[in-house]
């Protein structure tokens, strides 16, 4: 069964936490931490999510290359301009999933549409 989440007028974090729980299979009676739920999750109307101008300026995504001086900071507004809203939701859900070998497999069951 495919789960569809409508993001219109809702906050990014609320949608992401709901999607992460569905990807982990927590809604299923056969839930097990070491198993991947085969149910795909789709987020629709990602471009219509509720977001303020202040949030676009002040929210930072920080990555580190591993080299000295290799810290990269990118604001939410710049990320949206560069990759679009689906990437914002994908990153939010990815970081809410447990950091283990199953995270990359689970995130493949997520699709985000503007």
- Domains in the chain (CATH in brackets) are 3-50+85-112 (3.90.1180.10)
In the prediction, which pLDDT does 75 show?
A: 97
The 8-class DSSP code of residue 76 comes to H
Reading phi first (left if > 0) and then psi (alpha if -120 to 50, else beta), residue 76 is in: alpha
Summarised one tens digit per residue, pLDDT across range 77-105 is: 999 999 999 999 999 999 999 999 999 99
Q: pLDDT grade, residue 108 (50/70/90)?
A: very high
């Amino acid at each position: 069964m495919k789960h569809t989440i409508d993001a219109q007028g809702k906050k990014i974090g609320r949608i992401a936490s709901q999607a992460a729980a569905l990807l982990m299979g927590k809604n299923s009676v056969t839930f097990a931490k070491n198993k991947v739920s085969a149910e795909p999750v789709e987020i629709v109307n990602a471009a219509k999510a509720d977001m303020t101008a202040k949030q676009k300026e002040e929210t930072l995504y920080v990555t580190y290359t591993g080299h000295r001086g290799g810290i990269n900071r990118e604001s939410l507004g710049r990320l949206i301009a560069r990759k679009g809203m689906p990437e914002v939701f994908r990153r939010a859900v990815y970081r809410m999933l447990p950091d283990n070998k199953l995270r990359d497999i689970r995130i493949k069951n997520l699709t985000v549409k503007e």
